[in-house]
Amino acid sequence: MKLTPLENWIMDRTGIATKSRADLEAYQYNQLIQTLNYCKEKSLYYKKTLEHIDIDSIQSFKDFVKIPFTDSENIKKNALDFLCVSQSEVKRIITINTSGTSGDEKRIYFTEEDLNHTIDFFQYGMRCLSNESDRVLVLLPGKAYGSIGDLLRKALSLSHTQCIVHGVLTNLEEVTHLIQEYKISCIVGIPMQILYLSRLKSDVFQTYIKKVLLSTDYVPDILVKELRGRFHCDVYNHYGMSEMGYGGGVECEALHGYHLREGDLYFEIIDPQTGESVKDGEYGEVVFTTFHRQAIPLIRYRTGDIARFGADPCACGTFLKTMDKVSGRISNKVLLHNLGEVSLRDLDEAILQFEEVLDYKASIMDGDQLVIELTMSNLYEFENRKEEIIYCIYKRFYFPVHIKLKYQQDNRTPKITNSMIKRKLYDLRTN
Ligand SMILES: [Zn+2]
């Protein structure tokens, strides 16, 4: 099994001499202190937040947990307060709106150097799965300068790998044609879009696609199982978000969790209730701090994602940490009045096992009614499968739940303007 290419990259980037956690952690500690000093000096937000913190008293990672968390609400309130450079140095702005409500946007800024660091990560991250003989199709936005697709294109050209950046999937026939014309062997995209493509164009998928990199959102296990089992694809997961500078970590050939961008980011896993660190092997919320980020460095940023550090070393032999695949978002779990809990993760596993389902949207309405709109090719399939799907959802819960299924005709004109938007479980209850 090939050692993760991230290992040598991180050693080069950090300048550590030996493959040791102690050396890497010493580097990370120094970077944390630099980030704290930089933020306190340059960012209005951190100037205030860190006002009463004596940075000299932060002598270890243990002391570092005294520093308050940052969350997305803080950035939403005033992203410019986070900005550490003049606006003329900003080369890319990402606007994220997770709720669809205007005024609820979050802006993330990048300088040229910030973007170059991501290209660097993408170059080595993509080597985990692709090489010069691959032809890579990227189904992520790539038109704008500094967009995720643009950075991937630049990264792959540095590795002399042929790459076509198409943008998100909006036209199935067009994408199918591209796969055939360019004999695409490796595809990068949003999990639910890849599922959609593979289910409607299974022949083409089976003939051409050998490797898949899933990115930008939580990946249901059932999806990975289907791509591996049905199409014999190697399925790699990437973990990242705009706030990280798109990239955070990627799986190695062991396909057992991500190795992280440890030369650029410091990761913690915390108990979301108490804010305390949890032990390796225990689940909690992912928190990260950026190193050398110029425009918007972030300190102890709460991602809202649930994951854990693997307790055992990875089979590829690296000394880098491994983080188990993110198992969902905290906000995608809803507590019912009868104390039962509904999560998008459970629904995914119950609903997506039906190959006729192309997508779905789940909402919890008053009276704890679970309304699920299933996107399928035709009404006949829906009527045929309805009872069975309801039964499978029931089976996943250990408590009574009212389920209503609705049919949604597949008419794919996705409104995806930002590829980093995550799927949601909608809690629309008024009481
Ligand atoms: Zn590994």
State in Å: Cα 331 to ligand 1 middle: 29
Residue 85 near residue 111 (C-beta atoms within 8 A): yes
Best CA proximity match to 325, nearest among 262, 269, 255, 242 = 255
What tokens does 389 get? 């799907």
Q: Alpha-carbon distance 206 to 198, whole Å? A: 8
* Distance from Cα 324 to the centre of ligand 1, integer Å: 11
Distance 259 CA to ligand 1 centre (A): 7
Contact assessment for residue 207 and residue 252, using Cβ atoms and an 8 Å cutoff: no
What is the set of domains in the chain, with CATH numbers?
1-328 (3.40.50.12780), 330-427 (3.30.300.30)
Q: Quick one: pLDDT at residue 417?
A: 47
What pLDDT, on a 0 to 100 scale, did the predictor assign at position 401? 82
Nearest alpha carbon to residue 138 among 201, 253, 222, 216: 216
Q: What is the DSSP letter of 329?
A: B
Distance of CA 127 to the CA centre of its chain: 18
Find the 110 Cα to ligand 1 centroid distance in Å. 30
**CA of 7 relative to ligand 1 center, distance in Å:** 9
Q: Which residues contact 70 (CB under 8 A, 6 or more apart)?
A: 49, 298, 299, 300, 301, 302
Query: Angle, to 10 degrees, between the axis of helix 172-181 and the axis of helix 191-200?
Result: 80
Q: 316 CA distance to ligand 1 centroid (A)?
A: 4
Give pLDDT, residue 339: 81
Q: Which residues of 308-335 are buried (b: 16+ CB within 10 A; e: fewer)?
A: bbbeeebebebbbbbbbbbebbeebbbe
- One-letter amino acid for residue 134 of the chain: D
227 alpha carbon – ligand 1 mean position (Å) = 21
Q: Where are the beta strands (DSSP E) in 178-283?
A: 186-189, 211-214, 234-239, 249-251, 258-260, 265-270
C-alpha of residue 47 to centroid of ligand 1, in Å: 39
Say how many Å lie between the CA of residue 315 and the centre of ligand 1. Answer: 6
69: tokens are 């968390």
257: CA distance to ligand 1 center in Å?
Answer: 8
Going from the Cα of 218 to the center of ligand 1, the distance in angstroms, rounded, reads: 20
User: One-letter amino acid identity for 367?
Assistant: G
How close is the Cα of 126 to the center of ligand 1, in Å?
14
pLDDT value at position 96?
82
Instruction: Check residue 412 and give its pLDDT.
Output: 63
> How many angstroms does the Cα of residue 1 sit away from the middle of ligand 1?
9
- Smallest Cα–Cα separation from 36: which of 275, 244, 266, 278? 266
Q: Which residues of the chain have pLDDT under 70?
A: 98-103, 412-421
Tokens of 166: 């198409």
Phi-psi region of 286 (alpha: psi -120 to 50; beta: other; left: phi over 0): beta
Residue with tokens 């991937």: 152
- Rounded to whole angstroms, how far apart are CA atoms 359 and 411? 11
Q: How far is the CA of 222 from the centre of ligand 1 (A)?
A: 22
Q: Give the count of beta carbons closer than 10 Å to the beta carbon of residue 181.
A: 9
**Whole-angstrom Cα distance, residue 281 to residue 396?**
25
C-alpha–C-alpha distance, residues 285 and 331, integer Å: 11
Ligand 1 centre and the CA of 299: distance in Å? 27
Residue 285's contacts (CB-CB under 8 Å, 6 or more residues apart) are 269, 270, 271, 272, 302, 303, 304, 305, 306, 330
Residue partners of 212: CB distance under 8 A and separation at least 6: 186, 187, 188, 189, 194, 227, 233, 234, 235, 236
Question: How far apart are the CA of 97 and the centre of ligand 1, in A?
Answer: 34
162: left (phi over 0), alpha (psi -120 to 50) or beta: beta
350 and 393 in contact (C-beta within 8 Å)?
yes
